[in-house]
Amino acid sequence: MKQKVSLGSRLFDFFNITFMIVLIIVMAYPMVYVFSASISNNALVASGAVLLWPKKITLIAYEQLIYNPDLWVSYWNTIRYTALHTVLTLIATSAMAYPLAKRWLPGRRVILLMAAFTLLFSGGMIPTFLIVQRLGLLDTIWAIVLPSLISTWYLFIMRTFFEGLPEELEDAAAIDGCGSMQILIRIVLPLSLPVMVTIGLFTAVNQWNSFFSALIYLNDRDMYPLQIMLRNILIAGTNVQGEGDLTHLETLKYAMIIIATLPILCVYPFIQKYFVQGTMIGGIKG
């Protein structure tokens, strides 16, 4: 029997679908425009003639970037910064979140309050820089990785997920002779794949797009990440060789944005199935 749909329900569906279509267009347009501008004639892009589709297609901006050695050096730096930071963040965050999820931990409440305090207050940029300098970490990969290794927000999300796991599984593993570290590695972490992947994605995206830490802590150009190169083109108004040639500056800007964004866009579809479940963890406690 066909169910009758009320007029109010139809109106709601109509406005909801219309809103979603408009939202998709608003979100997709900048990406389409950036790609079109990156392969269009520089003069047409600079004059504002390119609005959506490319005009007088040319790949000269990509050729200048691809054949520039600085691009590949900065690409490699960004990849290793992102990979190391993501792996160490997941290890350190899970190692801290797991014991904080146990009510028997001595001083648990004090530690949680101290961690929550850092959400509101921090040491500041200058004290952090002085610490990094005194530790001799300037112009090293550790200056990029260590200062932001643990995010308090991700720590609380992971702790909430661990609290929702059945304690019977851990009790059974303990009876079989597993220690706390073995339980964490063999039982807890395999069951925590959604939260691990989600936090790993957020961490990787933040690190991939980060340039401020490199701007402060790195003086060696061979250590610069991809985002510093992108910044030099977008803000400083110089080309990748730093010679101030503005012949293809506009298309270089958009081509560099595409090159810098492409890896993250390629990775996301493979972990999308974990993303929705992982983002719900902070609001729902099992």
pLDDT tens sequence across 60-111 = 888 888 888 888 888 899 999 999 999 999 999 998 898 888 888 888 889 8
What residues contact residue 211 under an 8 Å CB cut-off, 6+ apart? 225, 227, 228, 230, 231
pLDDT band at 242 (very low <50, low <70, confident <90, very high): very low
Distance CA 178, CA 172 (A): 9
Global model pTM greater than 0.85: no
Structural element, H or E, at residue 107: none
Nearest to 156 by CA among 114, 187, 104: 114
Phi, psi values for residue 59, rounded to 5°:
-110, 20
- Which stretch, 214-218, 242-246, 282-286, has highest mean pLDDT? 214-218
Two tokens, residue 284: 């729902």
Nearest to 260 by CA among 93, 36, 31, 20: 31
Q: What is residue 177's three-state secondary structure? A: coil
| Averaged pLDDT, 247-262 | 82
pLDDT tens sequence across 133-161 = 999 889 999 999 998 888 888 899 888 88
